[in-house]
């Protein structure tokens, strides 16, 4: 009884709240980024690249007469390849030696040592940040071993071909040589990259990319002599005809220099059936050439980097592989942003 009289009053029991199902507001998905605009067709890229190299204005309605093109073709057929610079004898000897796995660093260093300029280039490259080692490089043999056979072959080829490609002279050739060298570096790099995917020799691909526009320098000089600016703007068809002459001159130069047979075959395909190569190296070269043109024009602000170039490149490799190659070119050659 006492407990009932003096106990604290018991609060009335309330029913437990009923959980109300609240419909979650739908979250709108983030809008997908708009697809990149397609890049220009390959013919337009080639035309823009050659106009950039030659310092020509954009195409206009005026055309240079077909007679001028026929005259250039005739001169090109009579072009004496013996006037081309000979490759230094050390290059073929070094390239043959690099195929012999039994030759050691001392023997390779002895071959490199026969060309003082090549020695300087090897020491410069191996002394760069990319090859920085704990111990300084004191002799050529150490540098040659550190560089490795593949890099040494590429470096020797660049050392020989750079002055040849930069030798374009004349009014239009003032900057054509350096621009052709920019393309050659990028084309050779892309060709070696794609060769590893296609199963052909990376160095032969590198070599083909390096020499594929050798004849363009001769075209620069012919245009100075036979097609002065007073003739008016060059039409795309005329300029494409000039580059076909240049491709034939490149082939003759490669024969003159006794390049490897696969390289010769790839350049023969460019002349005989442009756009439809049969060999793997020919397909590698066609794609590398297009990738290098896009890369040079992008670096110079003449093409937009954000465009989708899958329809621009020749369809000799899967588009993802060519996209990876394009990204690799950008990593290697795009100038660093401040």
pLDDT tens per residue across span 140-155: 888 888 888 888 888 8
Q: Look at 16 and 325; give whichever has higher pLDDT.
A: 325
CATH code: domain of residue 317: 1.10.3210
Q: Which of 179, 166, 251, 269 is nearest to 212 (CA)?
A: 251
Specify if 100 maps to a domain: no
Biggest alpha carbon distance in the chain? 133
Domain count, the chain: 1
Whether 156 is in a domain gets the answer no
Q: Indicate whether 115 belongs to any domain.
A: no
Going by pLDDT thresholds of 50, 70 and 90, the confidence category of residue 60 is low
pLDDT digits (tens, 9 = 90+) for 159-178: 878 877 776 655 565 678 88
Residue-wise pLDDT tens digits, 295-318: 999 999 999 999 999 999 999 999
Q: Is residue 246 part of a domain?
A: yes
Q: Between 83 and 252, name the one with better pLDDT.
A: 252
Tell me whether residue 122 is in a domain. no
pLDDT of 194 > 80? The answer is yes
Report pLDDT for 190.
Answer: 96
**Would residue 123 count as lying in a domain?**
no
Q: How confident is the model at residue 13 (pLDDT cuts 50, 70, 90)?
A: low
Q: Which residue, among 195, 198, 118, has the nearest Cα to 153 in the 3D structure?
A: 118
For the chain, give the percent of residues with pLDDT over 70.
77
How far does Cα 255 stand from its chain's mean position?
A: 23
Distance in angstroms (rounded) separating the CA atoms of residues 335 and 338:
9
Average pLDDT, the chain: 79
Give a three-class secondary structure readout of the chain: CHHHHHCCCCCCCCCCCCCCCCCCCCCCCCCCCCCCCECCCHHHHHHHHHHHHHCCCCCCCCCCCHHHHHHHHHHHHHCCHHHCCCCCCHHHHHHHHHCCCCCCHHHHHHHHCCCHHHHHHHHHHHCCHHHCCCCCCCCHHHHHHHHCHHHHHHHHHHHHHHHHHCCCCCCCHHHHHHHHHHHHHHHHHHHHHHHHHHCCCHHHHHHHHHHCCCCHHHHHHHHHHHCCHHHCCCCHHHHHHHHHHHHHHHHHHHHHCCCCHHHHHHHHHHHHCCCCCCCHHHHHHHHHHHHHHHHHHHHCCCCCCCCECCCCCCCCCCHHHHHHHHHHHHHHHCCCCC
**What is the residue range of 185's domain?**
42-85+167-333
Domain membership flag for residue 53:
yes
Answer yes or no: is 321 within a domain: yes
What local confidence, expressed as pLDDT, does residue 327 receive? 95
Least confident of 41-50, 270-279, 282-291, 314-323: 270-279
């Amino acid at each position: 009884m006492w407990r009932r009289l003096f106990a604290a009053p018991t609060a009335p029991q309330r029913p437990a709240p009923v959980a109300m199902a609240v419909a979650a507001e739908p979250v709108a998905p983030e809008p997908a980024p708009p697809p990149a605009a397609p890049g220009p067709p390959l013919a337009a890229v080639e035309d823009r690249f050659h106009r950039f190299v030659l310092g020509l204005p954009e195409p206009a309605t005026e055309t240079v007469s077909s007679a001028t093109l026929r005259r250039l073709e005739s001169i090109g057929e009579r072009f004496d390849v013996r006037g081309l610079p000979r490759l230094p004898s050390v290059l073929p000897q070094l390239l043959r030696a690099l195929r012999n796995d039994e030759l050691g660093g001392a023997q390779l260093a002895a071959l490199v040592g026969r060309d003082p300029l090549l020695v300087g280039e090897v020491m410069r490259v191996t002394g760069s940040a990319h090859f920085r080692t704990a111990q300084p490089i004191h002799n050529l043999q150490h540098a040659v071993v550190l560089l490795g056979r593949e890099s040494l072959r590429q470096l020797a080829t660049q050392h020989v071909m750079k002055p040849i490609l930069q030798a374009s002279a004349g009014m239009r050739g003032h900057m054509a040589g350096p621009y052709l060298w920019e393309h050659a570096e990028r084309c050779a790099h892309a060709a070696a990259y794609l060769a590893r995917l296609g199963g052909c020799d990376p160095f032969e691909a590198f070599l083909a990319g390096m020499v594929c526009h050798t004849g363009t320098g001769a075209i620069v000089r012919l245009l100075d002599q036979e097609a002065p600016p007073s003739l008016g703007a060059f039409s795309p068809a005329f300029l494409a005809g000039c580059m076909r002459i240049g491709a034939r001159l490149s082939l003759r130069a490669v024969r003159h220099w006794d390049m490897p047979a696969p390289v010769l075959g790839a350049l023969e395909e460019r002349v005989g059936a442009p756009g439809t190569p049969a060999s793997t190296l020919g397909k590698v070269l066609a794609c590398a050439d297009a990738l290098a043109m896009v890369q040079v024009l992008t670096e110079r602000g003449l093409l937009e980097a954000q465009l989708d170039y899958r329809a621009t490149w020749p369809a000799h490799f899967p588009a993802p592989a060519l996209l990876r190659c394009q990204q690799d070119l950008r990593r290697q050659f795009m100038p660093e942003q401040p």
